[in-house]
């Protein structure tokens, strides 16, 4: 049965948001409430969120299967995201276990009809230059590409490794258990808490030189998730970004957000005053086409931008 989003059926409006305590999760919860959803906000931190008329809070551990099942009870959809403050060689195993638990819980929850799985562009962009095989006929990067696991291990790109393996695990289980799922492969989210230590930024200079360093505004990221959830034609993976960092001006602006105002701290490939443009080698046409008619007028509170 197709979901009813006109407000006539509240059963189709109840959704769960996992990791609702973070910048993205809290902004997503707010937008869903604005659009008339009843939200189960699943948090695994000490963030203080109180129940309200259309909001119920659950303390959920992605590694605790039963706590996930409890949070999903009665929900039609799930928005799942998981980000760690630090990534190393052991993080991938944890994120794979969490993804498996979440998709298995969805498969066991009769009311769940759709899952939006938040992944990362780092699960797409890391390709071994020496590898002649490619899942895409184009030299450019799009949703058909997967990051090379061995390449990520070799260069200790732990964020890309974790996101690739976790997303592949989710897709394998979703297909095996008949769970309807779409994934959002997001660029670097320009959230209020972004710092230079964000794990996504490991290898940023190489992404810049390859023309695949992308960022996404918090509002656009939230709207993209809701769009792929509500649109019955949405399928597969969606690269999500609204800016490509491929010129010195943009690189300097981003570096000044992340770093103290010290030009000497900028990467050596970026020099203020130089005019350098790197060809864009990544495409988000699939998502942009889907979002053409999406209503994204509702503002996100300034405290969440």
Give the contacts of 4 (CB within 8 A, at least 6 positions apart): 12
Asked whether the beta carbons of 182 and 116 are under 8 A apart, the reply is: yes
- Out of 14, 163, 202, 286, pick the active-site residue: 163
Among 228, 272, 221, smallest CA distance to 250 is for 272
CB-CB contact of 248 with 278 (8 Å): no
Spell 244-257 as b/e; 16+ CB within 10 A means b: bbbbbebbbebbee
- Verify whether residue 163 is a known catalytic residue: yes
DSSP code at position 300: P
Interatomic CA distance for residues 159 and 80, integer angstroms? 17
Give the number of other Cβ atoms within 10 Å of residue 298's Cβ.
13
Reference 299, options 217, 238, 193; nearest CA is 217
Catalytically active residues, by annotation: 163
């Amino acid at each position: 049965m197709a979901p009813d989003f006109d407000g006539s059926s509240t059963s189709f409006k109840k959704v769960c948001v996992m990791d609702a305590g973070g910048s993205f999760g809290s902004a997503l919860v707010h937008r869903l409430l604005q659009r008339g959803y009843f939200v189960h906000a699943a948090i695994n931190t000490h963030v203080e969120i109180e129940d309200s008329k259309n909001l119920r809070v659950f303390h959920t551990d992605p590694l605790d299967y039963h706590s996930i099942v409890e949070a999903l009870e009665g929900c039609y959809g799930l928005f799942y995201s998981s980000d760690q403050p630090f990534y190393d060689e052991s993080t991938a195993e944890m994120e794979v276990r969490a993804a498996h638990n979440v998709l298995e819980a969805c498969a066991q929850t009769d009311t769940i009809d759709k899952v939006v799985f938040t992944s990362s562009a780092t699960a797409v962009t890391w390709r071994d230059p020496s590898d002649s095989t490619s899942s895409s006929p184009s030299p450019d990067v799009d949703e058909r590409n997967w990051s090379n696991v061995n390449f990520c291990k070799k260069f200790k790109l732990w964020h890309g490794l974790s996101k690739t393996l976790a997303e592949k695990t989710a897709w394998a289980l979703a297909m095996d258990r008949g769970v309807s799922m779409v994934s959002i492969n997001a660029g670097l989210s320009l959230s209020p808490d972004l710092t230079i230590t964000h794990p996504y930024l490991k290898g940023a200079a190489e992404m810049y030189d390859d023309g695949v360093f992308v960022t996404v505004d918090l509002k656009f990221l939230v709207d993209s998730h809701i769009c792929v959830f509500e649109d019955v034609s949405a399928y597969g993976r969606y690269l999500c970004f609204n800016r490509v960092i491929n010129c010195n001006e943009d690189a300097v602006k981003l570096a000044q957000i992340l770093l103290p105002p010290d030009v000497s701290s900028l990467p050596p490939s970026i020099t203020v005053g130089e005019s350098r443009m790197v060809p864009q080698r990544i495409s988000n046409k699939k998502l942009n086409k889907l979002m053409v008619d999406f209503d994204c007028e509702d503002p996100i509170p300034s405290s969440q931008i």
